[in-house]
Amino acid sequence: MKIKTKNYEVEVTISEVNKGEAYIQIEDCNSKKTAKQKGNDVQIHWEKKVPVIKINNGTFFEQIKEKAKAEGKNTKKWRECYLLISQEEYKNLRAMIEEEKQKAREVEIKRICEYKGEVTISDHSSYNARVDFSDFSTFLKIEEVRKDAKKMRAIINTLGRDVIFHYRDKGWGEYKYYEGDYTDEISLTISFEQFQQIIAEQEKELEKALEAKKQKKLQSEAERQAKFEEAKRTGKKVKLYSYADDCNDENEDCDIDTIIVYAMPNGSIQEERHHNW
C-alpha cells in the first residue's frame, strides 16, 4: 500500500499494531531489517489523537534523515519518526491489518487441527503441574494452545493427581513415575486429541472446585471478621487459629511449641507461644 505525504511517498506493509496507542506501526517494504533500535526518540510528526505511521528503520527512514540533515537538522540520535496520514488511509490500513490477522488465524487453526504430536502432563510433589508439547518451541505461540495448557495445569493443580491416575487407569498414553530422596513426579504422555478431551471432560469439575474454593475463602474471611468483632465487643482476646513450631528455647525440655494466634479488642493480632513438655 502506498502512503503519500506532502514531501514523501512510501510503500508499506503491516508489521505490528500498537495496542492502546493511536498510531499504526509499519516498516518499509524495501528493508529486511527487523532488529529494534534503542535510543532517544525523535518525532518528525506526532499527535496522539491523529492517525500517524511510525517508521523506525529501512531505506525510507534513511531518506527522511538525509532530507532533514540537508535542511540543517541534527539527526545523529534519531531512531524513529512519525508521518501524519488521512482518515481514509487509516481505514485502509486497519482493513489490511484485519485481513492479515484473519489469515494468521486460519493458519493457526489449521496447525491445531493437523497437529499429530504428543503432550506430556506431569505433576511434581514440590512444584506445580507442567504441560509439555513435543513441538513446544513453536506450538505454544498459538493463543488457543497456550490457554489450553494453562487450563490443564489448573485442572491438575486444583483437582490433584487423581486426574492423571484416572486417565492412566483408562489405558491412555504412557505413564511414568520418578522417585527422588524427598520428592516424586508422575507424568502421562498422551496424544493431542486426548489432551483436548481431558480438558473438555474436566473443565466443569474445575469450575466447581474453584467455586467451592472461593466460597470457602469467603466463609473463612467472614468467620475471621466475626472473631475480631467479638473481641471488640467483649474486650477479650479471641482465638483465630493455632499451629506447631520448633521450640525456640534450648533450656526448655520440649521439641515442639504450640503457637496460638488471637484477635485482639483493638483490631490487632497477637501470638502466644506455649511449650509442650
Short-list 22, 26, 57, CA closest to 39: 57
CA atoms lying within 13 Å on the CB side of residue 181: 0
Q: How confident is the model at residue 40 (pLDDT cuts 50, 70, 90)?
A: very low
Query: Packing angle between helix 162-169 and helix 192-234, nearest 10 degrees?
Result: 150
Q: What is the mean pLDDT of residues 45-55?
A: 49
Q: How confident is the model at residue 66 (pLDDT cuts 50, 70, 90)?
A: confident
Q: Which alpha helices (DSSP H) does the chain contain, by range?
A: 59-70, 87-114, 136-139, 143-159, 162-169, 192-234
Strand partners, 259: 243, 273
3-state secondary structure of 5: coil
| pLDDT above 50 for 86 | yes
At 94-118, the pLDDT tens digits run: 777 677 778 877 877 777 777 777 8
- For strand 9-17 and strand 81-84, is the pairing parallel, antiparallel, or unpaired? unpaired
Phi-psi group of 58: left, alpha or beta (phi > 0 → left; psi -120 to 50 → alpha; rest → beta): left
* Confidence (pLDDT) at 103: 81
Q: What is the mean pLDDT of residues 236-249?
A: 93
Q: How many CB atoms lie within 10 A of CB 35?
A: 6
The angle formed by the CA atoms of residues 121, 124 and 129, to the nearest 5 degrees, is: 45
- For strand 118-124 and strand 184-191, is the pairing parallel, antiparallel, or unpaired? antiparallel
Quickly list DSSP for 41-83.
---SS--TTS-EEEE-SSHHHHHHHHHHHHTT---TT---EEE
At 174-232, the pLDDT tens digits run: 999 999 888 999 999 999 889 999 999 999 999 999 999 999 999 999 999 999 999 99
The span from the CA of 145 to the CA of 112, in Å, is 8
This model's pTM is above 0.85: no
The CA dihedral of 148, 150, 152, 158, to the nearest 10 degrees, is -150
Q: How many CB atoms lie within 10 A of CB 232?
A: 15
